[in-house]
Amino acid sequence: QQTQKRHAIEDEIAQLFAPEDDGLRHALQAAKEGGLPEIQINPIQGKLLQVFAAANQSRKILEIGSLAGYSGIWLARALPADGRLISLELEPRHAEVIRASFAHAGLADRTEVRVGNALDLLPGLQAAAPFDLIFIDADKAGYPQYLEWAIKLSRPGSIIIADNCVRDGRVFTASPDMDADTAGLVKYNQLTREHPRLTTIVLANDNDYTDGFNVAVVK
């Protein structure tokens, strides 16, 4: 009963405040047809990314892990015409699909997909830094290192957002038998919580409160 009511409220918020346009729907269809991972953020999270980008007038956005290109479309739509989204993607074949989805959404002029392991690509982004917003949604074991780079590539006022930082409540405290992905997320939550240059909160805003964003603002 309560669950059903929650879902109805969330659906109404999504429809009123975060409707999906053709570009977003097309990206999801292309991801499905191309066999890309269909584990994208939800529309309310997409709109939240835009709200954060608007809050600090983001002009340069970095995404670590492109997945279906869905979050990238939400992010790029928050940019001014001369703004730029750089999205890092490990899989060359996925990158092709994502580039096409960005182009279909009318965002070819302000988006760039770079292919490779993020840890190899991140050092090459120092000339383009600082980024105003950094969205982390790649392999979970790598999150602590991605955070280090995100801070390095940021400025005071930059916002660092990471997906999947709730994971059913399993990523707040360490346990002896956790796998590398879980350990990476536990470490990420700990580092962001304790970091002297970050103001951080976790929002359980996905999958019925079982997952969600870690949001950190750089001081």
Q: Least separation, in Å, of the C-beta of 163 and ligand DHB? A: 5
Q: Site for ligand DHB (CB under 6 A): which residue of 122, 163, 165, 166?
A: 163
- DSSP letter string, the chain: -HHHHHHHHHHHHHHHH----HHHHHHHHHHHHHT----PPPHHHHHHHHHHHHHTT-SEEEEE--TTSHHHHHHHHTS-TT-EEEEEES-HHHHHHHHHHHHHTT-GGGEEEEES-HHHHGGGGTTTPPPSEEEE-S-GGGHHHHHHHHHHT--TT-EEEES---GGGTSSS--TT--HHHHHHHHHHHHHHH-TTEEEEEEEEETTTTEEEEEEEE-
Q: Which of 23, 68, 137, 151 binds ligand DHB (CB under 6 A)?
A: 137
Residue 58 found at the interface with ligand DHB (CB under 6 A): no
Contact with ligand DHB (CB under 6 A): which of 50, 71, 158, 164? 164
132 binds, among Mg ion, ligand DHB, none (CB under 5 to 8 A by kind): none
Asked whether position 9 contacts ligand DHB by CB under 6 A, the answer is no
Q: Please report how close the Cβ of residue 168 comes to ligand DHB at its closest, in angstroms.
A: 11
Residue nearest to ligand DHB as judged by C-beta position: 39
Residues in contact with ligand DHB by CB under 6 A are 39, 137, 163-164
